[in-house]
Amino acid sequence: MQASTLITPRLAEEAINSRLTCLPIESLPLTQCVGGTLRENVYAERDQPPFDRVTMDGVAVDSEQLRRGLRRFYIQATQAAGAPPLKLARGENAIEVMTGAMLPHAADCVIPVEQYDVVDGILSLTATVASTPYHNVHRRGSDSRQGTLLLETGTLLRAPEIAVAASAGMARMRVSSQPAVMIISTGDELIEPGDPIADYQVRRSNAYAVAAALRRRGFGRIGDDHVLDDEDMLRERLTLHLTTHEVLILSGGVSMGKFDLVPKVLMQLGVQEVFHNIAQRPGRPMWFGIGPQGQAVFGLPGNPVSTLVCLIRYVIPAIAEAMGTRRVLPERLALAAPVTFQPPLTYFLPVAIEHDDWGRPWATPRPPNGSGDFLSLAGTDGFVELPPGPNTYPRGFVASVYRW
């Protein structure tokens, strides 16, 4: 793809994904798998629940006795959770049961503690007791049967999926290795938070936003570097980072200025340019290339809004793709107010997601004062992707939403 070609966001996404190298697989303890991408199928170890499970504290009885009109029972014993099941000795008996316990043999109904009184070992029921078989019982195998596919390869492992894997007896799982990611800010004007700053300098904020977005999604192997606008220094540092990281995310230095040295130096180091410039606003100057060993190199524009938009729209989905994570279609929401946009470019518009009186979510436009106005992003939830203008997008126009 020629450097001068201006491609659409969809083609940019396809160009990135078609050139990614799949990350290796590793076996990790279950406790270390959260945020990872599963690379094997997980099957049910046994029926779930594995037995008829009591769902309320109360007493277990034979429902046939209730249907015959019996309202007084003798307390025979107590059945605790985690203990082998007891058995009703006769129909007039009841066994106290705890939530999570196995249903005693010969019993098929659980009466909650609120619906009876016990005096001297004799249980008396209230008039409203239900006599339905397996009332307040979670039947064996009602959730899944032994051998059922529970989790497919490509599943993102969050808290619910970790619980499912644990229930299947998975002490370890095969997951995609997380890539080593290096975040690189370029520019003489950037000063770290907390350091003395001159009137002509700005705080180095983009790297912190990028790292925060990555960590929020479970990525932990993150490095950080700041390189001045010096070609030799940039070449030296990028040479090092290309040998130690699978993903490089650069912020700044990719436009057309005299000190925008990133594309030139990357190509000198054998990074093949895939595209430079996307038909979008903000973030038009974005650069992407592939290193000699398959490293993914993203050159994001230095303006803060552009950096964060390009990270969310392209970089994070690309890392997920390399990890084999199953694709999820973007959320779709309607605009809460009309928006006018004239340039023939895709428009990434920051929004706050708000709910109306009926609880319906709407994307409320929060346009920044240019791509350098990162202060306006505070309190927003993400951005919508609007098709190329010129156009006025009315209230109710439905668009894809990408959350920060």
Distances (CA, A) of 248 to 65, 212, 238, 283, 328: 71, 16, 9, 17, 24
The answer as to CATH 2.40.340.10 being correct for domain 331-403 is: yes
Calculate the dihedral angle through the C-alpha atoms of 85, 91, 95, 98, rounding to the nearest 10 degrees.
70
- Choosing among 3.40.50.2300, 3.90.1150.10, 3.90.105.10, 3.40.50.300, the CATH entry for 28-48+143-176 is 3.90.105.10
CA distances from 389 to 183, 281, 338, 352, 383 (A): 33, 11, 13, 22, 17
CATH 2.170.190.11 residue spans of the chain: 53-138
Q: One digit per residue, pLDDT tens: the chain, 404 residues? A: 444 468 999 999 999 999 999 999 999 999 999 889 999 999 999 999 999 999 999 999 999 999 999 999 999 999 999 999 999 999 999 999 999 999 999 999 999 999 999 999 999 998 888 889 999 999 999 999 999 999 999 999 999 999 999 999 999 999 999 999 999 999 999 999 999 999 999 999 999 999 999 999 989 899 999 999 999 999 999 999 999 999 999 998 887 666 579 999 999 999 999 999 999 999 999 999 999 999 999 999 999 999 999 999 999 999 999 999 999 999 999 999 999 999 999 999 999 999 999 999 999 999 999 888 889 999 999 999 999 988 999 999 999 999 99
Q: Where in the chain is the domain with CATH 3.90.105.10?
A: 28-48+143-176
Q: Are 109 and 135 in contact (CB under 8 A)?
A: yes
User: Please, where in the chain does CATH 3.40.980.10 lie?
Assistant: 9-23+178-322
| Cα gap 60→110, rounded to integer Å | 4
CATH topology of domain 9-23+178-322: Molybdenum Cofactor Biosythetic Enzyme; Chain A (3.40.980)
pLDDT of residue 259: 59
pLDDT at 296: 97
How much is the pLDDT for 4?
47
Predicted pLDDT at 389: 82
Q: CA 152, CA 145: separation in Å to the nearest integer?
A: 16
22 CB neighbour count, 10 Å cutoff: 12
Could you confirm whether domain 53-138 is CATH 3.90.190.10? Answer: no
DSSP for residue 311: I
